[in-house]
Chain A
Amino acid sequence: VQLVESGGGVVQPGRSLRLSCAASGFTFRSYAMHWVRQAPGKGLEWVAVISYDGSNKYYADSVMGRFTISRDSSKSTLYLQMNSLRSEDTAVYFCAREDGEAGYILNSWGQGTLVTVSS
């Protein structure tokens, strides 16, 4: 299992950024996927989840209405569209694969991509 995040960088407040997570080594379309972030020197914060078929999506209150999670199974890629970015969105963003049938068990993680929101 390999998950490789990309798309991070420096962006001004109020602007947008799209993160990608390229998956390999497993049948991507069979697994729900998550985004989790970690601000510098801080703890883990769950961001969003998308079901294996993309039909269900849930978000943390802190990103609801600004971030959109999506997936393209033909490309084995997970996305996070981030709009109206704020300084508090500065973090390393990890994608993770969910294992099991319920309970949000995150058994495989990428190495993360850093997003810095600053003017």
Chain B
Amino acid sequence: AQSVTQLDSHVSVSEGTPVLLRCNYSSSYSPSLFWYVQHPNKGLQLLLKYTSAATLVKGINGFEAEFKKSETSFHLTKPSAHMSDAAEYFCVVRGLTGGGNKLTFGTGTQLKVEL
């Protein structure tokens, strides 16, 4: 079985300060991992993905994430938050199951950016 845990349901930062959104996963196989962002009343948009290449993955809008197998983590970071980053962020794991590929979504982290 596979699962994904987003450790914080809400994160609040000041504009210009670093962002850290935490994600831990479990998977029986070498997983693919993704971060998606959802702005209010919008669909989800892919931020970045890890697929067994470089462990440090760079995404759009200055976000990046590091795959750490020993810690089963895939935390999302950004050096300096912008007001437009306020959104909900979902960590997603893809692994093999008996029926083929399966995507498992985390429960989301709501990021608030304050002036």
Q: Do A and B bind each other?
A: no
Question: B residues within 8 Å of A by Cβ?
Answer: none
Question: A residues within 8 Å of B by Cβ?
Answer: none
